[in-house]
């Protein structure tokens, strides 16, 4: 019996990649815990057919990103940086200011940092949807509710 080697081109067989939708409620949860579960689901590492060279991951919807917890003094000390590409174009912002202005960015950057830094990693990141409140427009996809402590 040989080792199963998944292929993205195997259409019509039982081994076709099936992408599910998961929803994670981040209200009161610690940022790193939520981000690691989301990154694992996006990569597809929870599936038995996972392979490092094929994107077998699922779609992930994270709601209530505005009420996610940062432990320790990260609210005051963590700095988010972005550069325009021009001289002197570095902008720095503390986590508490980012939470007020754009709360999705905190979760998005945490998950993005846990994904591979390749084309496939950017494709995985494209399957992540983050919303500041409890509402999301993905009800038609019938996402499964997922607690942070469990992985599908």
Q: For residue 152, tell me if it sits in a domain.
A: no
Number of domains in the chain: 1
Q: Is the pLDDT of residue 82 over 50?
A: yes
Cα distances (angstroms) measured from residue 39 to each of 70, 77, 97, 121: 18, 24, 25, 10
Residues whose CB is less than 8 angstroms from the CB of residue 140 and which lie 6 or more positions away in sequence, other chains included: none
Q: For residue 4, tell me if it sits in a domain.
A: no
CATH number at residue 27: 3.90.1180.10
Q: For residue 103, tell me if it sits in a domain.
A: yes
Q: Calculate what percentage of the chain has a pLDDT beyond 90.
A: 78
- Give the pLDDT score at 92: 97
- Give the pLDDT score at 4: 74
Q: For residue 76, tell me if it sits in a domain.
A: yes
- Give the pLDDT score at 152: 46
Q: For residue 109, tell me if it sits in a domain.
A: yes
Q: For residue 116, tell me if it sits in a domain.
A: yes
Higher pLDDT: 43 or 152? It is: 43
Q: For residue 3, tell me if it sits in a domain.
A: no
Please give the residue range of the domain that contains residue 106. Answer: 21-146
Residue 41 and residue 57 in contact, taking contact as beta carbons nearer than 8 Å: yes
3-state secondary structure of 141: helix
| 26-52 per-position pLDDT tens digit | 999 999 999 999 999 999 999 988 888
Q: Does the predicted TM-score (pTM) go above 0.85? A: yes
Q: For residue 15, tell me if it sits in a domain.
A: no
Q: Is the pLDDT of residue 99 over 80?
A: yes
Range of weakest confidence among 1-10, 15-24, 94-103? 1-10
Q: Is the pLDDT of residue 14 over 80?
A: no
Range of weakest confidence among 14-23, 53-62, 109-118? 14-23
Q: What is the mean pLDDT of the chain?
A: 90
Query: How many C-beta atoms surround the C-beta of residue 60 within 10 A?
Result: 25
């Amino acid at each position: 019996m040989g080792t199963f080697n998944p292929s993205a081109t195997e259409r019509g067989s039982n081994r076709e990649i099936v992408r599910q939708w998961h929803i994670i409620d981040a209200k009161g949860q610690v940022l790193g815990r939520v981000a690691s579960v989301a990154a694992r689901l996006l990569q597809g590492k929870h599936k038995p057919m996972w392979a490092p060279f094929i994107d077998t991951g699922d779609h992930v919807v994270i709601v209530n990103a505005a009420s996610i917890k940062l432990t320790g003094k990260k609210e005051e000390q963590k700095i988010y940086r972005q550069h325009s590409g021009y001289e002197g174009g570095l902008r720095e912002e503390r986590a508490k200011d980012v939470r007020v202005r754009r709360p999705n960015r905190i979760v998005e950057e945490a998950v993005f940092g846990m994904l591979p830094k390749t084309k496939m990693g950017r494709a995985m990141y494209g399957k992540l949807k983050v919303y500041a409140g409890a509402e999301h427009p993905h009800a038609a996809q019938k996402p499964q509710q997922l607690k942070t402590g469990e992985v599908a």
